Amino acid sequence: MRLFEAIIDANHRAVEGDQSAGLHPTDFQSEFPIVALTCIDVRLNALLPEVLGVPKEQFIWLRNAGNIITGPLSSTMRSLALACVVKGGKEIAIIGHTDCQVGKTTTAELIDRFRALGIERHLLPANINEFFGMFSSERANVIKAVDNVRHSPLIGPTIPVHGLLVDIETGKVEWLVNGYQTLDLMGARLNEVAPSVGHALDTLKSLTDFEIGGIKFPEMKIGETVSMAEDWLSGKVRELGSKPAEAGTAEQAATPPKIPVLRATVASWQREKQREKPGTPPKLPLPQPLRPKLRFNKGAK
Selected residue with higher pLDDT from 138 and 250:
138
Give the CA distances from residue 89 to residues 80, 92, 244, 249, in Å, rounded to whole numbers and listed in that order. 9, 7, 83, 84
Phi and psi at residue 94, in whole multiples of 5°? Answer: -95, 115
Domain positions in the chain are: 3-189
Q: Is the dihedral of CA 11, 17, 21, 22 positive or negative?
A: positive
Phi and psi at residue 23, in whole multiples of 5°? Answer: -90, 145
Percentage of the chain beyond pLDDT 70 is 61
pLDDT of res. 259? 46
Q: At what angle do helices 75-85 and 138-150 cross, to 10 degrees?
A: 60
Q: Give the model confidence (pLDDT) of 152-178 as tens digits.
A: 999 999 999 999 999 999 999 999 999
Read off the pLDDT of each residue in 104-132 and give the average, rounded to a whole number: 94
Q: Do the Cβ atoms of 31 and 193 come closer than 8 Å?
A: no
Q: How confident is the model at residue 210 (pLDDT cuts 50, 70, 90)?
A: very low
Mean pLDDT check: name the lowest of 89-98, 112-121, 173-182, 232-241. Answer: 232-241
What's the first-to-final CA gap in the chain, in angstroms? 146
Q: What is the DSSP string of 28-43?
A: GGGG--EEEEE---GG
Tell the CATH superfamily of the 3-189 domain: Carbonic anhydrase (3.40.1050.10)
Selected residue with higher pLDDT from 189 and 137:
137
Q: What is the DSSP string of 258-287?
A: HHHHHHHHHHHHHHHHHHSPTTPPPP-PPP
Mean pLDDT of the chain: 80
pLDDT of res. 182? 82
Q: 196 pLDDT exceeds 80? A: no
Characterize the bridge pairing of strands 91-97 and 34-38. Answer: parallel
Q: Do the Cβ atoms of 92 and 142 come closer than 8 Å?
A: no
Q: Give the model confidence (pLDDT) of 27-49 as tens digits.
A: 999 999 999 999 999 999 999 99
Strands (E), the chain: 34-38, 59-63, 91-97, 161-166, 173-177, 210-212, 215-217
Q: How confident is the model at residue 285 (pLDDT cuts 50, 70, 90)?
A: low
Residue 90: other Cβ atoms inside 10 A: 17
